[in-house]
Amino acid sequence: MNVWRAAANLATLANALVGIGAIAYILLGNPLFAMLLIAIGIGFDGLDGLLSRRSGVDGSTFGRIADSVGDSITFGIAPALLIADHANQGSLWGSYAVVGYAIGALYLVLALTRLARFTAHHYRQPDFRGTPTPIAALAIVWFGAALYVPAFLSVQPLAFYAFAAVVALLMVAPWAYPKMRRGARLRIPMAVTGIAAALMLVPFQFRPPVGSPAFWIALAGSAVLVAGLFLYYVIGPFTVRTPAIDRRLAVPP
């Protein structure tokens, strides 16, 4: 068996397992640690793709399905639960319970739709159609930490839900977004963005007081993270060489 392929499969399994862990921590009332696990899942998902390309063989149908199942757990179900898990964050969030459940359901449906579409035939394309689910999950994690928990930019339920709805819709948008392959223009900036996510989320696990060194490290990581997300969402479509609208969406493989 190809060693690189076996390692890629293990990375896929690790992605699914940390996603299950994230779901468990959300249900247990610790969404902040769940956010960190989602970010770790993004790392495993990227490692999966890297190892798969190193194997030098085309991915199997099983591999694509397994990858999408893992992504569905970590970047579909877990972020959707984060969006809906607002009632435990105080009376202000509870006032918008119905909105939170609706946006969480919308996110989940669109994430699963995007992954099913990608698994069926979009994996053949050189770029993504709509934003990939790991980037969407990272956006939810960042805005969640900023305006949800620990809410270091104040508590803004409606802003959080509006942002989550836009992120969900962009997953099924017809625009092309780049894959982070070798030579991709945004590859290094997005790698820095991943490091910034860790700088934000790790200190926050210890609930640092405002003004402490750990808090400022987390805040700096947050600033770099939002810059990376801006690059991908806004600049990303201009870095691909394929048409902005995929006219083959309705054509079966």
Residue 97 has pLDDT above 60, yes or no: yes
pLDDT, tens digit, 9 for 90 and up, residues 220-242: 999 999 999 999 999 999 988 75
Distance CA 14, CA 71 (A): 11
Residue 253 has pLDDT above 60, yes or no: no
Distance CA 53, CA 1 (A): 15
> In this prediction, what percent of the chain has a pLDDT beyond 90?
48
Q: Residue 1: its pLDDT value, please?
A: 54
pLDDT, tens digit, 9 for 90 and up, residues 77-93: 999 999 998 767 777 77
Q: Residue 149: its pLDDT value, please?
A: 75
Confidence of residue 115 (pLDDT cuts 50, 70, 90): very high
pLDDT, tens digit, 9 for 90 and up, residues 196-206: 999 999 998 88
Q: Residue 156: its pLDDT value, please?
A: 82
Q: Residue 58: its pLDDT value, please?
A: 62
Global pTM value: 0.88
Confidence of residue 52 (pLDDT cuts 50, 70, 90): confident
How do the domains of the chain map onto residue ranges?
3-239
Over residues 15-37, the mean pLDDT reads 94
Over residues 10-30, the mean pLDDT reads 93
CATH classification number, 3-239, choose in 1.20.120, 3.10.450, 2.60.40, 3.30.420: 1.20.120
Q: Where in the chain does DSSP place strands (E)?
A: 128-129, 176-177
Q: Residue 148: its pLDDT value, please?
A: 75
Q: Residue 122: its pLDDT value, please?
A: 63
